[in-house]
């Protein structure tokens, strides 16, 4: 009989695989790998801020919500800076530097708040954010992941073709009356929202790898976008499920296993060239 916690981990892995498998090709075709760097800073800052609020209000469920709000706000600021004329790299670099500084200050405030409050399992929450603890996912966490993931999935499906046109032919989108700025902002928000939703299961340290490499690998082996998407989805699903099953037997974080497997595949393809 499959343990309940393993079943929850498998279901969470399937949802994560669908979201990352679809998002990864967009990250690669639009060149958003550097954006994910700022995203991770904002996720950590949002988590720290959420822990501070959780301690003050005695409700640690605020951590994910706060991380989501902070991350979406950060990607919107980046999009506005680009709209103001900054290059994508410059916009990301400016925002990421401020967020990194705020994160360090946030940790200082968190330590002071913890000193004046009774014990809370914050160390476990911090480790979960950094390394991912998919085996500790609760039924409530799984419900949020599935419902929130379903909303983001259908939004991505609805706009996926527009995002692809935005990646390959933004001038064509403008010529047909499309608003490339609006599409870009929606895509940025999707990246931020998906990152905030899955970070506790994937882990902040490895999130960039599992978000970027499946699409990069798919683009190396296929050129047709439908096949690229199919390879990205299948690869992400196989890697995520394999890492969870292996971690169940050898008792190490599955996020580390997933990263290593993706790195081996990507490296092997590079050497073949």
Q: Give residue 19's pLDDT band: very low, low, confident or very high (50, 70, 90).
A: very high
Instruction: Please state, in angstroms and rounded to a whole number, the distance separating the CA atoms of residues 117 and 218.
Output: 49
pLDDT, average across residues 235-239: 93
Q: Give residue 239's pLDDT band: very low, low, confident or very high (50, 70, 90).
A: very high
Q: Give residue 173's pLDDT band: very low, low, confident or very high (50, 70, 90).
A: low
- Highest mean pLDDT: which of 114-118, 198-202, 229-233? 229-233
Q: Give residue 235's pLDDT band: very low, low, confident or very high (50, 70, 90).
A: very high
Domain locations in the chain as residue ranges: 4-272
pLDDT, average across residues 170-182: 68
Residue 170 has pLDDT above 70, yes or no: no
Residue 161 has pLDDT above 90, yes or no: no
Q: Give residue 163's pLDDT band: very low, low, confident or very high (50, 70, 90).
A: confident
Residue 123 has pLDDT above 70, yes or no: no
What's the whole-model pTM score? 0.84
pLDDT, average across residues 186-201: 84
pLDDT value at position 232? 92
Class of domain 4-272: mainly alpha
Mean residue pLDDT of the chain comes to: 82
Indicate the range of 67-76, 125-134, 263-272 predicted with least confidence: 125-134
Residue 121 has pLDDT above 70, yes or no: no
Q: Which residue has the tokens 């995520």?
A: 240
pLDDT, average across residues 106-128: 69
Residue 122 has pLDDT above 60, yes or no: no
pLDDT, average across residues 90-103: 83
Is the pLDDT higher at 156 or at 134?
Answer: 156
Q: Give residue 126's pLDDT band: very low, low, confident or very high (50, 70, 90).
A: low
pLDDT value at position 71? 83
Contacts 24+ apart (CB under 8 A), 161-164: 163/26, 163/30, 163/187, 164/26, 164/29, 164/225
Q: Please, are residues 114 and 55 in contact by the beta-carbon 8 Å criterion?
A: yes
How many residues does the structure list for the chain? 273
Q: Please, are residues 176 and 15 in contact by the beta-carbon 8 Å criterion?
A: no
Sign of the dihedral through C-alpha 35, 257, 214, 19 = negative
Structural Rg of the chain based on CA atoms? 19
pLDDT value at position 98? 85
pLDDT value at position 17? 92
């Amino acid at each position: 009989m499959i343990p309940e916690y393993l079943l929850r981990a498998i279901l969470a892995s399937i949802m994560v695989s669908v979201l990352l498998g679809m998002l990864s090709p967009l990250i690669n075709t639009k060149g958003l790998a550097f954006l994910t760097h700022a995203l991770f800073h904002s996720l950590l800052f949002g988590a720290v801020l959420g822990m501070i609020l959780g301690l003050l209000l005695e409700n640690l469920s605020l951590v994910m919500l706060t991380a989501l709000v902070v991350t979406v706000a950060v990607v919107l600021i980046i999009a506005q800076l680009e709209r103001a004329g900054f290059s994508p790299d410059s916009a990301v670099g400016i925002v990421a530097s401020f967020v990194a500084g705020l994160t360090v200050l946030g940790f200082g405030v968190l330590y002071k708040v913890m000193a004046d409050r009774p014990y809370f399992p914050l160390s476990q929450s911090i480790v979960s954010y950094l390394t991912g603890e998919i085996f500790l996912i609760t039924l409530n966490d799984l419900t949020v992941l599935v419902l929130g993931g379903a909303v983001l999935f259908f939004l991505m499906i609805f706009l996926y073709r527009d995002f692809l046109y935005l990646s390959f032919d933004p001038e064509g989108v403008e010529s047909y009356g499309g608003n490339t700025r609006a599409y870009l902002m929606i895509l940025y928000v999707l990246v931020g929202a998906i990152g905030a939703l899955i970070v506790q299961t994937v882990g902040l340290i490895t999130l960039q790898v599992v978000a970027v490499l499946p699409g990069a690998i798919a683009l190396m082996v296929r050129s047709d976008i439908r096949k690229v998407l199919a390879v990205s989805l299948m690869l992400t699903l196989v890697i995520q499920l394999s890492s969870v099953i292996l971690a169940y037997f050898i008792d190490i974080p599955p996020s580390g296993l997933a990263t290593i497997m993706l790195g081996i595949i990507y490296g092997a393809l590079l050497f073949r060239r």
